[in-house]
Structure 1
Amino acid sequence: MTARLSAQIGFLKVADRLKSVERANVLLDLSRPENSAEHSWHLALWALVLEPFAGAGVSVDRAIRMLLLHDLVEIETGDHPIHEETDWDAVARAERAAARRLFGLLPPDQAAMFLDLWTEFEADTTPDARYAKMLDRCQPLFQVLCADAPRSDHVEVVRENLLNGRAAYLSSAFPEAFTHAMALLENTPGQQDAFTSRLLFLAEADKLKSVFRASRLLDDSRFENSAEHSWHIMLYAWVLSEHGVHPVDTDRVLRMLLLHDLVEIDAGDNPIHGNVDHAAQDALEQAAAERLFGLLPPEQGVSLRSLWQEFEAAETPEAIFGKAVDRVQTPIANLENGGGSWISYRVSLPQLEARVGRPVRRGAPDLWTWLQPQLLDCFTRLGLPV
Structure 2
Amino acid sequence: MLRRVDLSATAASPGQLRRMLPRAAMDVSSALDAVTPLVRAVREQGYAGARAATARFDGVDVPEPRVPAEALAKALAGLDGSVRAALEESIRRVQITHAEQRRGVTDVEVAPGAMVTEKWVPVDRVGLYVPGGIAVYPSSVVMNVVPAQVAGVPSLAVCSPPQKEFGGLPHPTILAACALLGVEEVYAVGGAQAIALMAYGDPEFGIEPVDLVTGPGNVYVAAAKRLLRGVIGIDAEAGPTEIAILADRTADPAHVAADLISQAEHDPAAASVLVTDSGELADAVTAQLHEQVARTRHVERVRTALSGPQSAIVLVADLEQGLEVVNAYAAEHLEVITVEARMWAERVRHAGCVFVGAHSPVSLGDYCAGSNHVLPTGCTARHASGLSVQSFLRGVHLVEYTREALLEVAPHVLALAEAEDLPAHGAAVSARMPRP
What is the TM-score normalised by the length of structure 2? 0.23
Structure with greater proportional strand content: 2
Structure with greater proportional helix content: 1
Greater Cα radius of gyration, structure 1 or 2? 2
Larger RCO: 1 or 2 (CA < 8 Å, sep 6+): 2
What is the TM-score normalised by the length of structure 1? 0.25
